[in-house]
Amino acid sequence: MQMRQVSQSARSIEPPLLNQEILAVDRVSLSFGGVKALSNVSFSVKEGSITSVIGPNGAGKTSLFNSISGFYKPSEGDVRFLGENVNKITAPERAERGMARTFQNIALFKGMTVLDNIKLGRHAHLKTNVLDALFYFGRARREECELRREIEERIIDFLEIDHIRNQSVANLSYGLQKRVELARALAMQPKILLLDEPVAGMNREETEDMARFILDVKEEWGVTVLMVEHDMGLVMDLSDHVVCLNFGKVITEGLPGDVQAHPDVISAYLGSGDVAALRKKFKEGK
Amino acid sequence: MRIGTAKENYLHDAALFDTNVQRAWMVALAAALLVLPFISGQYIGYLVCLVLINIVSTTGLNILTGFTGLVSLGQAAFMGVGAYTVAILEINAGTPFLLNLLIAGGAASLVGVVVGLPSLRVKGLYLAIATIAASVILHFVFANWTSVTGGVSGLTMPPASIFGFELVQPNQVYWIIMPITVVMLFGAANLFRTRIGRAFIAIRDRDISAEVLGIRLLRYKLLSFAISSFYAGVAGGLWAYFFRVITPESFPLMMSIFFLAAIIVGGMGSILGGILGAVFMTMVPEILKMMVGVLSPIWPDAVAVMSPVRIIVFGGLIIFFLIFEPDGLAEIWRNIRRFFHLWPFRT
Ligand SMILES: Nc1ncnc2c1ncn2[C@@H]1O[C@H](COP(=O)(O)OP(=O)(O)O)[C@@H](O)[C@H]1O
Ligand SMILES: [Mg+2]
């Protein structure tokens, strides 16, 4: 396993020294009609870490991401980002403050090229106004040029997508689309990157590439990563901290090895797959 | 990419016309636009002006509907706002035409923003109906605010003038209409090279994920309404200078449908598509009319018999294009270009 070696040696070089919390989820609950998608979820993400949220399908991971990025309003609890309570802050404003995300079912803009999709990521940080845009003088031209150069040199090179930059995203393979979505999120100059199942549906090689990118994002770009992932190999290799959700509740959290070994996690997620017994156990209130 | 071109830098790569051949064509087109009024007769001059005015308005609607995905049937009414504004300013203030046209655009875009307010909540057909309602209200205002709009008999205004020289004939008004159309087309094309145009397209393609990228939906939807109705307002102002009589019936709902048809036939979300669509929708009925005219010496009843046929043929052509090329005339044009670019190599 090439990837495992690379990532572990890389991690041993960098000590986990940053202990400041960048994101905190504090007793968050969310329901859809009768369904409680999240109940009383609390955890925090340390700056400069890779934190993973695991849990079986329907555990509430995507709902958690939607609550963090501002799509859903939790019925109770707070989300704090960079020390600020963002409950009343809209999704676009959270994006401006440095929250970027990708989606479980890719959300690229099909009518645009790869390059334009990536450029969209920078939207909130650009200053071009309508008059600049209509005449394409001064600021508009300068900003577009700088943006183009930076995307080419930092993002397209890094993610190895030079060959597709002018293609329409609609024609790309699934793996490449996921990569373009990551590129767009990086163009947002994020402080935290939320990745919803970044390697789902990818083959082995694509998965290893993505793992390398995620690690580089943390180590070279200094961006904190919070990801939802099913691929336990990936989670164990990359994560500094793991949170396990089931039925909308945090079962346990901690170091990857400890979480993996936790009996409830084993039965909930990694275990024999006896779902019926598990549901019964949780319905009875654990 | 065109055979035999290599991009030297990013600025180059992002240019609107990026090859020498394209630039040569643009020069030829510019030359044609400059000599046209000297060689064309009254009738051709009239048609060209009409086409240009329709291009401005269609391009505006394309920004809103084709690029931002907000369907509107208010474009003609917004043109009306622009036309009345110009007429009122020309009659009462006698301010320079360029200023009048800017104010006309501004007035229409204010109205457009108000009409666009429901767009955060409603989409598609519902928004279309809201814009129809706005058209009806504006028509009512044009017809009944008699002290300002002249009521049902409308307004008759003096011609535009440059340095005391009055522009009366189509071939004279052309010198206002043509340059403004060119500037506005460049403006629209430029818009989509920047964050604003990209935000519009993002809203069209998936408005929820646009928010996660930091795009404020309401602000950008209203901005799209504002820009689109600015184009309509200026087009309406040009229309006023061209016809110089404005009544409430000058801008019927049918005209809004005409613009919508133009972007569908020409190509939604393509500047070239708006141009081609406006040309097609304006010229094809005229060409059919001419063909009937040619027949009439041989066949005296031609006009009576062929007029309904003409309309059916026009409708049939629209349907034919929609089925044959749903991406519009712009896509047909691109296919032709692609063929010649790769020529003599086959793909
Ligand atoms: N928009 C929604 N409306 C109703 N129920 C929802 C919605 N989104 C999620 N849910 C429900 O919330 C629970 C958690 O779903 P989700 O967050 O997608 O889980 P995960 O991402 O862990 O697979 C599921 O029971 C799901 O059916
Ligand atoms: Mg999910």
Query: What span, in angstroms and rounded, lies between the C-alpha atoms of A12 and B252?
Result: 73
User: For residue B333, what pLDDT is reported?
Assistant: 86
- B194 contact residues in A (CB cutoff 8 A): 126, 128, 132-133, 136, 140, 143-144
What are A139-154's pLDDT values in tens digits?
Answer: 899 999 999 999 999 9
Q: Are A134 and A96 in contact (CB under 8 A)?
A: no
Does residue A63's CB lie within 6 angstroms of at least one atom of ligand 1? yes
Q: How confident is the model at residue B22 (pLDDT cuts 50, 70, 90)?
A: confident
pLDDT for B13 equals: 62
The residues, any chain, with a CB within 8 Å of residue A138's CB and separated by 6 or more, are A132
Residues of A with CB under 8 A from a CB of B: 69-71, 90-93, 95-96, 100-101, 103, 107, 109-112, 116, 119-124, 126, 128-130, 132-136, 140-141, 143-145, 148-149, 152, 184, 188
Name which of B137, B157, B151 is nearest B78 in CA terms.
B137
Distance CA B11, CA A63 (A): 42
Instruction: Please answer whether residues A102 and A195 qualify as being in contact, where contact means their C-beta atoms are separated by less than 8 angstroms.
Output: yes
Tell me the whole-structure pTM to 2 decimals. Answer: 0.88
pLDDT score at B1: 41
What is the rounded CA–CA span in Å between residue A201 and residue A281? 30
Q: A159: helix, coil or strand? A: coil
DSSP-derived 3-state class of residue A108: coil
Nearest to B182 by CA among B233, B234, B227, B226: B234
The pLDDT-based confidence of A191 (bands split at 50, 70, 90) is very high
Buried b (16+ CB within 10 A) or exposed e, B154-192: bbebebbeeeeeebeebbbbbebbbebbeebbebbbbbb
- Find chain B residues with C-beta within 8 A of A129's C-beta: 196
Residue A263 has pLDDT above 90, yes or no: no
Name chain B contacts of A134, Cβ cutoff 8 Å: 187-188, 190-191
Residue A208 pLDDT: 93
Span B287-309, mean pLDDT? 80
| Separation of alpha carbons A188 and B192, rounded Å | 19
Strands A50-54 and A224-228: parallel
Contact B229, B111 (CB under 8 A): yes
Distance A104 CA to ligand 2 centre (A): 6
Residue A166's closest CA among B10, B199, B63, B340?
Answer: B10
Tens of pLDDT, residue by residue over A49-71, are 999 999 988 899 999 999 999 99
At B255, give phi and psi (nearest 5°).
Answer: -70, -35
Does A55 contact ligand 1 (Cβ within 6 A)?
Answer: yes
CA-nearest residue, atom 6 of ligand 1 = A32
Ordered by where they begin, the domains of chain A are 2-98+190-274 (3.40.50.300), 109-177 (no CATH)
Instruction: Assign residue A254 a region (left: φ > 0; alpha: ψ between -120 and 50; beta: otherwise).
Output: left
ipTM, two decimals: 0.83
The predicted structure's pLDDT at residue A13? 42
Question: Average pLDDT for residues B294-320, to the nearest whole number?
Answer: 81
Residue B323: what pLDDT?
86
- Output the average pLDDT for chain B: 89
What's the rounded mean pLDDT across residues B208-212?
87
Angle at B343 between CA B341 and CA B345, to 5 degrees: 120
Cα A76 to middle of ligand 1, angstroms: 17
The alpha carbon of A13 is separated from its chain's Cα centroid by a whole number of angstroms, namely 24
Contact B212 A69 (CB under 8 A): yes
B217-228 pLDDT per residue, tens: 999 999 999 999
For B206, which residue in chain A has the nearest alpha carbon? Answer: A109
B303 or B251, which is more confident? B251
Query: Position of tokens 């032709």?
Result: B336
Q: What is the pLDDT of residue B12?
A: 60
Provide the token pair at B131: 């814009």
Bridge partners of residue A44, in order along the sequence: A24
* Angle of helix B20-39 versus helix B42-61 axis, rounded to 10: 130
| C-beta atoms of B190 and A119 within 8 A | no
Q: How far apart are CA B34 and CA B175, in angstroms?
A: 9
In the predicted structure, residue A133 carries a pLDDT above the cut 60: yes
Query: In whole angstroms, how large is the CA radius of gyration of chain A?
Result: 20
Mean pLDDT of B202-216: 89
Which span out of B15-19, B115-119, B203-207 was modeled with the highest average pLDDT?
A: B115-119
Sequence spans of domains, chain B? 37-342
The rounded percent of chain B whose pLDDT value lies above 70 is 94
What is the CATH topology of the domain spanning B37-342? ABC transporter involved in vitamin B12 uptake, BtuC (1.10.3470)
CA-wise closest residue to B55 among B240, B275, B330, B233: B275
CA-nearest of B117, B151, B323 to B221 is B117
Joined tokens for residue B322: 């929609």
- Output the pLDDT for position A276: 52
Residue B16 confidence class, pLDDT cut points 50, 70, 90 = confident
Give CA–CA dist A81/A85, Å, rounded: 6
| Spatial separation of the C-alpha atoms in residues B283 and A228, rounded to whole Å | 57
Per-residue pLDDT at B251 exceeds 90: yes
> What is the tens place of the pLDDT at every residue in B142-195?
999 999 999 999 999 999 988 888 898 999 999 999 999 999 999 999 999 999
The lowest-confidence range among B26-40, B63-77, B268-282, B310-324 is: B310-324
Distance in angstroms (rounded) separating the CA atoms of residues B82 and B235: 7
Instruction: Give the list of residues 6+ apart from residue B247 with CB closer than 8 angstroms, or none.
Output: B142, B152, B153, B154, B155
Q: Residue A8 CB: number of other CB atoms within 10 A?
A: 11
- The three-state secondary structure class of A21 is strand
- Tell me the pLDDT of chain A averaged across its residues: 86
Provide residues of B within 8 Å CB-CB of chain A.
10-11, 13-14, 187-188, 190-191, 193-199, 201-202, 204-206, 208-209, 211-217, 223, 227, 269
Which ligand 1 atom sits nearest the alpha carbon of residue A66? 17
pLDDT at B345: 54
Residue A17: predicted pLDDT: 47
* Residue B338 confidence (pLDDT): 78
| Rounded Cα gap, residues B44 and B13, in angstroms | 38
Strand partners, B246: B155
Consecutive H or E run containing B155:
strand B155-156
From the CA of A269, the nearest ligand is 1
Interface contacts A/B by beta carbons within 8 Å: 111
* B101: region left, alpha or beta (phi > 0 left; psi from -120 to 50 alpha): alpha
Q: Are strands A35-46 and A21-32 parallel, antiparallel or unpaired?
A: antiparallel
Residue A162 per-residue DSSP state: G
Evaluate if residue A257 carries a pLDDT over 50.
Answer: yes
pLDDT digits (tens, 9 = 90+) for A209-243: 999 999 999 999 999 999 999 888 899 999 999 99
Asked whether A71 lines ligand 1 (CB < 6 A), one says no
Percent with pLDDT over 70 in chain A:
87
Confidence of residue B52 (pLDDT cuts 50, 70, 90): very high
Q: Tell me the mean pLDDT in the region A59-88.
A: 94
Q: CB–CB of B214 and A92 under 8 A?
A: yes
Residue tagged 């590129």 (tokens): A183
Q: How far is the C-alpha of A104 from the C-alpha of A126, rounded, in Å? A: 27
